[in-house]
Chain A
Amino acid sequence: MAVDERFRALFEPRGVLVAGASTHPGKFGFVSLHNILACGYAGKVFATNRDGADVLGVSTVAEVADLPDGEIDLVFVCTPAAANPDLLRACAKKGITAAFIASAGYGEAGEEGVAAQAELVALAGELGILLAGPNGQGVVSPPARLCAQIVGPYPPAGHIGIASQSGNFVSSFENYAQLTGVGVSRAVSAGNAAAVTVPDYLEYFADDPQTRVALAYIESVGDGRSYIQRLRGVAERKPVVVVKGGATAGGQRAAASHTGALASDDRVFDGAARQAGVSRAATVEQGFELAASFATQPLPRGNRVMVVTSVGGGGVVAADAIGRSDLVLAPVPDDLMADVDALLPPRWSRNNPIDMAGGETRDTVPEIVRLAASHRDVDAVLFLGMGIQSNQAKLMRDGPFWPDHGLERIVGYHERQDARYAEAAAEVSDATGKPVLVATELAVTSPDNPGPAAVRAGGRLCYPSADRAVIALDHLWGRSRWLARRGLG
């Protein structure tokens, strides 16, 4: 299917018009213009205002007719519902092909709203305008430095394409992007999804070179069969991560058959998603982590994991998590055993997890991570224990003895080492084409720790716990297996 050029108008517009720009800093028409300007949108910005007043230094016009022709692709609509049909007609004359309707008063607002929404959809169809929303919070497209959104934040640029039936969860995913540094290619709130629906956006993401993984929050699926077939079409090309709300809302079916009695909405959706190769996340937070994993790690070709750790308990808990998943702890092959023996004192675990038991010196960690990931009998590596030395270094930096008594020198060493571990993990992953995940709670408790900071700087996700890293890796493996079993890998 040919890419609908109008999605390019929505996500990479040459010029943007804010319709209904306001001088009141609490109004959508002010906030959206503010965000577009403040986030550094590179194209031309226009605005309409009933009184033609300047807003944030932008001179406005009262009528769309007074704007130049052919310079604007996208209109961000903040005007009242009643004004919008005329607005769209005027926009079409200027060559505008995409409209994001932030205005409320549509399908969510009773019978009259439903009628107004149907009219607007029909009109947009006649005019050839792609209609996003209405009643949505906006569209964000960091590759175009576009933040046409009535709320924060503006996430860093990356490769996760987000479409959501809840505006607020767009912000949630963007907040996680900001926290973790794993960025976003496109993010759109579907609003009432009157014309363009979540699967439409996901199909665009499948074609979009900026997007590596599609992340969706969905509630209702309407015709479930056609919905899931469309998701499958996307999943055959790119990973699709779905968080489904209302999982417990639909109870068991009232049915005569035993099979029917066992068929809850959620069980049927879950099976359909598995069949379609959709990675279903249990929570919003997990949804982001899975998407971030697909965006930044290669898929494993098998399920054999080697855990490399400088923390004994962490290794044990990681092994437990692997035991609950479809992953397995790789046995330590003889040649790898010999290689590690040569690098560590004899007290190391001599088993998987490879617990270095404090025997590591300057180059041990990068070397063992490299040996493990390079081995043909290992499909993925999980590294635990990064950042501990820098955590101590922080106490020294902040303490009363800094920088004397040799503190400056040891602190510098520790901090360089942790950053090096993070860099080595990414380098080894790139070199071997295997996932190498790094997990430490310091990613959230002390994000400036040089370990997690270096993982972020390298563009990857630093997992907040081994358990969460294992869940993510399990989903990477699930997709790898789904593709391979269907001849799509």
Chain B
Amino acid sequence: MPTLSEAASKELLGAFGVPFPDERVVAAVDDAVGAAGEIGYPVVVKLGGDGIAHKTERGLVRLGLGSAEQVRDAAADLLAAATPEDGEVHLLVAPMLRATRELIAGLHDDPQFGMTVMLGVGGILAEAVADVSFRLVPIERVDAEEMIEDLALQRLLGPFRGEPAVDRAAVADVLLGLSEAAQARDDIASADLNPLLVVDGRPVAVDALVEVR
């Protein structure tokens, strides 16, 4: 099934209240430098496009760029790395967010139960830890709140390493937004918000991938 580009995925889900960082989509190296200046350093620059689903595996994400020069070099490298199969590409410039806690959220169309919404503990060990909770779409706020309660790693959601407790209402908003998106758009086959970073207690999705049918 085809995937939307990261930028298009974010635009789609952002309309349902899913929080994303302040980022810019640009076409050229100079524009990337300009965008980085507006956002403030350090930044992340990624190569985007409808044909690009797995950026990290292909080295198409450049993290922690601290100067205009670094952004210029990275942007030029990324554009040069595009292949003909990638189709039309663009550069996505975003602030470099730091977070010690990562969640994962998404939509999954289950063969038996139909569309489901998921919340889990994220990070590179997400699949091994498998601390996740599912509900059938549509969900109500009480369901979203109970999904957060379902997670075994509740201590991760409290005050943690000098950061405030996770804003549960804001996480519930993300889940409700996903549920609403799935209801409004029956062409959504799946969605991943991975990672859903917890920045100063609030969830921010720094990556999004929507599969459409």
Known A255-B190, A271-B134; contact A224-B106, beta-carbon cutoff 8 A: no
Report the nearest B residue to A326, measured CB to CB. Answer: B149
A270 contacts partner chain B, Cβ-Cβ < 8 Å: yes
Between A and B, how many residue pairs show CB distances below 8 Å? 98
B112 interface contact, C-beta 8 A: yes
Q: How far is the CB of A487 from chain B (nearest CB, A)?
A: 10
For residue B199, CB closer than 8 A to chain A, the reply is no
Given contacts A228-B113, A274-B146, 20 further A-B contacts (CB under 8 A): A221-B112, A223-B112, A225-B114, A256-B211, A257-B106, A257-B209, A258-B127, A259-B108, A262-B104, A262-B108, A263-B108, A265-B112, A268-B110, A268-B112, A268-B116, A270-B134, A271-B136, A272-B113, A485-B146, A486-B142
A224-B113 Cα distance, complex, nearest whole Å: 5
The yes or no answer to B27 lying at the interface (CB within 8 A) is no
Is B35's CB within 8 Å of the partner chain A? no
Does B192 reach chain A (CB closer than 8 Å)?
yes
A 245-272 binary contact with B (CB < 8 Å = 1; else 0)? 0000000010111111111010111111
Least CB distance from A262 to B in Å reads 5
Question: With A224-B113, A257-B211 in contact, do A262 and B142 touch (Cβ < 8 Å)?
Answer: no
Q: A261-B127, A268-B116, A275-B143 are in contact. Are A255 and B136 (CB under 8 A)?
A: no
Complex alpha-carbon distance, A255 and B108, angstroms: 9
**Contact yes or no, B142 A259, CB < 8 A:** no
Q: Report 20 cross-chain contacts, Cβ distance below 8 Å, ordered by A residue.
A: A221-B112, A223-B112, A225-B114, A255-B108, A256-B190, A257-B108, A259-B106, A259-B107, A262-B104, A262-B108, A262-B118, A262-B127, A268-B108, A269-B113, A271-B136, A272-B135, A274-B135, A274-B150, A275-B136, A275-B143
Closest partner residue, chain A, to B110 (CB atom): A268
In the assembled complex, the Cα of A456 lies from the Cα of B133 at a distance in Å of 39
| B104 and A258 within 8 A (CB) | yes
A residues near B105, Cβ cutoff 8 Å = 259
Cβ contact within 8 Å between B126 and A258: yes
- List of B residues within 8 angstroms of A267 by Cβ: 130, 132-134
B110–A263 CB distance below 8 A: yes
List chain A residues, Cβ under 8 A from B142: 485-486
B94-114 contacts to A (CB < 8 Å): 104-108, 110-114
Name the interface residues of A143-170: CB closer than 8 Å to any CB of B. none
Chain B contacts with A in 117-145, Cβ cutoff 8 A: 118, 120, 126-127, 130, 132-136, 139, 142-143
What 1/0 flags go to A58-87 for Cβ under 8 Å of B? Answer: 000000000000000000000000000000
The 7 closest A-B pairs by CB, nearest first: A259-B106, A271-B134, A224-B112, A224-B113, A257-B190, A259-B108, A263-B108
Q: Chain B: which residue is nearest A271 at the CB level? A: B134
For residue B1, CB closer than 8 A to chain A, the reply is yes
| Residues of the B chain whose Cβ atoms lie less than 8 Å from the Cβ of A221 | 112
Chain A residues closer than 8 Å to B118, beta-carbon distance: 259, 262-263
In the complex, are the beta carbons of A262 and B120 less than 8 A apart? yes
Q: What's the interface size class on B, roughly?
A: 35 or more
B residues in contact (CB < 8 Å) with A: 1, 3, 53, 104-108, 110-114, 116, 118, 120, 126-127, 130, 132-136, 139, 142-143, 146-147, 150, 190-192, 194, 209, 211
Majority SS of interface residues in chain A? helix
Q: When chains A and B are docked, how far (Å) is the Cα of A486 from the Cα of B140?
A: 10
Question: Complex Cα distance A88/B107, Å?
Answer: 48
Residues of chain A contacted by B134 (CB below 8 angstroms): 263, 267-268, 270-272
Q: Bin chain A's interface residue count.
A: 20 to 34
- The B interface, classified by DSSP as helix, strand, loop or mixed, is strand
Chain A residue contacts of B130, Cβ below 8 A = 262, 267
Q: Report the separation of the CA atoms of residues A225 and B135 in the bound assembly, to the nearest whole angstrom.
A: 11
B-chain residues with CB within 8 Å of residue A257 when the two chains form the complex: 106, 108, 190-192, 209, 211
Which one, A225, A256, A265, contacts B1 given CB within 8 A? A256
Residues of B within 8 A of A228 (CB): 113, 136
Q: With A and B bound together, what is the CA distance between A271 and B146 in angstroms?
A: 10
- Residue in B closest to A264 when the chains form the complex, CB atoms: B130
In the complex, A275 Cα to B147 Cα: how many Å? 9
Most buried by B among A223, A267, A268, A272: A268
* Binary CB contact string for chain A from 207 to 228 against chain B (1 if under 8 A, 0 otherwise): 0000000000000011111001
Q: Are A275 and B113 touching (Cβ within 8 A)?
A: no
Q: How far is the CA of A89 from the CA of B127 in the complex (A)?
A: 57
Closest to B195 in A: A258
CB distance from A252 to the nearest CB of B (A): 8
Residues of chain A with a CB closer than 8 A to B1's CB:
256
Task: Say whether A258 contacts B106, CB under 8 Å.
Answer: yes
Docked Cα-Cα span, A410 to B135, in Å, equals 59
Can you name the residue of chain A whose Cβ is closest to the Cβ of B112? A224
Query: Which of A222, A260, A269 sits near B108, CB closer than 8 Å?
Result: A260
Kindly state the separation between the CA atoms of A260 and B108 in the bound complex, as whole angstroms.
Answer: 5
- The distance in angstroms between the C-alpha atoms of A265 and B134, with both chains bound, is 11
- Docked Cα-Cα span, A272 to B115, in Å, equals 11
Known: A257-B191, A260-B190. A271 touches B135 (CB 8 A): yes
- Which residues of A sit under 8 angstroms from B108, Cβ to Cβ? 253, 255, 257, 259-260, 262-263, 268
A447 to chain B, nearest CB (A): 37
- Which B residues touch A486, using CB under 8 A? 142
Cα distance A75–B8 in the bound complex, in angstroms = 63
**Docked complex Cα distance between A275 and B135 (Å):** 7
C-alpha spacing A222/B111, complex, angstroms: 10
CB A80 to nearest CB in B, in angstroms, measures 35
By a CB distance below 8 angstroms, the chain A residues around B112 are 221-225, 265, 268
